[in-house]
Amino acid sequence: MQQSDVLTPERTRTASPFDTPKTKHDASGSAARVIPIVPLSHSEAEVARQMQICNACRYCEGFCAVFPAMARRLEFGKADVNYLANLCHNCGACYHACQYAPPHEFAVNVPKAMAQVRLETYTEYAFPAALGALYKRNGLTLSVALATGLALFLMLGLALRSGLSAHATSANFYAIFPHNLLAAMFGTVFLFAMLALGVGVTRFWRDVAAGTSSVSMPAAAEAAKHALTLKYLDGGHGDGCNESDDAFTLARRRFHHLTFYGFLLCFAATAVATLYHYAFGWEAPYPYLSVPVLLGTVGGIGLLVGPAGLWWLNLRRDPERTDVRQRPMDRGFIALLLLTSVSGLALLAFRATPAMPSLLATHLGIVMALFATLPYGKFAHGIFRSAALLKSSIEKRQGRSLGLGSE
């Protein structure tokens, strides 16, 4: 197949049930289904080329959701490629199994090609796009600089107001930063993050969901299960991913789970503390064995071990299988998660000492930087991936009803 076949802007062909159909009439008046094809970027054209080869081979059909989704298509337009790229979990199984991988002349390297497209989608769908582009280029530097800047700003404000050790030994955080001030600061950043994420995923869904039937409960439940269990990090056989070599490991799945559920527990700790404050009038500090402190401690440990493991794996990952341009984003997000847990646990340990106000300002600055950058880093990619899993679950059922079979 010639690459020009893939890049032709618009032409007539046999449509797949998953295409967005448009009807045109030729000179004789007969109807033909025309698929408008948006010109592909170089990375997208490379995924389309490799998918044509894989579609003829299909050796990796049982590895993950990408290959069954690929098999439902005859050609790969921009929306198909973006969808498949975000469905790929970069587990590496297909690269290590592939008889057409480099040095073969077909040069099939699906994880790398998908990673290159994913990086483009992060900027393309980001809101505002300029922030997405900045984070893509300088994710690590931007994350650390933002966290440091916000922490210093809060410390300066504190020093000017009452000094860095005032009210220190009472372990009362709200004597340092009033609760309403914290709620206003974090509420603003949180709403911005939710808005930016919402716009990004809406843009993504609008592009990739064309031709997909509406969401059903079984499809939504299956997609949620696959997202929450990270099913496709099991390599398709349950033994896990390939990281630096042919050996399988479940380490990436485990570290992702520790990170994700650690993050959720920390979020739950904040939610319970807010409930205590507003609904019951119970003011912090809470005892070590109280619900918010226990949730925060267990979550903080998960958020320490998980990101530390992900950083270690990121350093070891075979560069041939990934897009190395993605590293600043990956490491920026992991660094902020690590700094959040380290500063949070340090704050808990030293909350009744003169170091508390400085530790509190540092922790708050880091958490604000984390929330402000959520829409541009790996967190956004988790949201896009969940949307892609939902489309996959819908398509699977749609394929069955059309008698096309399924995985």
Q: Which of 47, 88, 272, 308 binds ligand SF4 (CB under 6 A)?
A: 88
Q: State yes or no: residue 230 binds ligand SF4 (CB under 6 A).
A: no
- Contact segment (CB under 6 A) with ligand SF4 among 30-38, 95-103, 122-130, 385-393 equals 95-103
Contact 249/241 with Cβ under 8 angstroms? yes
Q: State yes or no: residue 304 binds ligand SF4 (CB under 6 A).
A: no
Q: State yes or no: residue 110 binds ligand SF4 (CB under 6 A).
A: yes
Q: Which of 37, 85, 108, 219 binds ligand SF4 (CB under 6 A)?
A: 108
Residue 182 CB partners (closer than 8 Å, separation 6+): 174, 364
| CB nearer to ligand SF4: pick between 18 and 127 | 18
* 3 state DSSP class of 103: coil
Q: Which of 15, 34, 74, 97 binds ligand SF4 (CB under 6 A)?
A: 97
Min dist. Cβ of residue 404 to ligand SF4 (A): 19
Question: Two tokens at 336?
Answer: 């902020």
Name the DSSP class of 321: G
Min dist. Cβ of residue 42 to ligand SF4 (A): 19
Calculate ∠ Cα 318-81-234, nearest 5°: 45
Q: How far apart are CA 124 and CA 244, in angstroms?
A: 30
Q: State yes or no: residue 98 binds ligand SF4 (CB under 6 A).
A: yes
Half-sphere exposure of 91 (CA within 13 A, CB side): 29
* 3 state DSSP class of 125: coil
Restricting to residues 180-199, name those near ligand SF4 by CB under 6 A.
none
Contact 53/46 with Cβ under 8 angstroms? no
Question: Two tokens at 234?
Answer: 């099991």
Q: State yes or no: residue 159 binds ligand SF4 (CB under 6 A).
A: no
| CB nearer to ligand SF4: pick between 66 and 197 | 66
Contact 58/206 with Cβ under 8 angstroms? no
Neighbours of 199 (CB within 10 A): 15
- Contact segment (CB under 6 A) with ligand SF4 among 104-112, 259-267, 294-302, 309-317 equals 104-112
- Contact segment (CB under 6 A) with ligand SF4 among 3-11, 87-95, 252-260, 379-387 equals 87-95
- Contact segment (CB under 6 A) with ligand SF4 among 106-114, 119-127, 217-225, 355-363 equals 106-114
Nearest CA to 200 among 124, 300, 276?
A: 124
Min dist. Cβ of residue 87 to ligand SF4 (A): 7
Total residues contacting ligand SF4 (rule CB under 6 A)?
25
Half-sphere exposure of 153 (CA within 13 A, CB side): 12
Nearest CA to 40 among 87, 84, 72, 71?
A: 84
The 3-state DSSP composition of the chain as helix, strand, coil percent (nearest 5) reads: 65, 5, 30
Secondary structure (DSSP) of 163-176: -TTTTGGGT-HHHH
List the x/- string, 314-353, binding to ligand SF4 by CB under 6 A. Answer: ----------------------------------------
List the x/- string, 54-83, binding to ligand SF4 by CB under 6 A. Answer: x--xxxx--xx-x-----------------
Q: What are the residues binding ligand SF4 (CB under 6 A)?
A: 53-54, 57-60, 63-64, 66, 88-94, 97-100, 108, 110-111, 114, 232
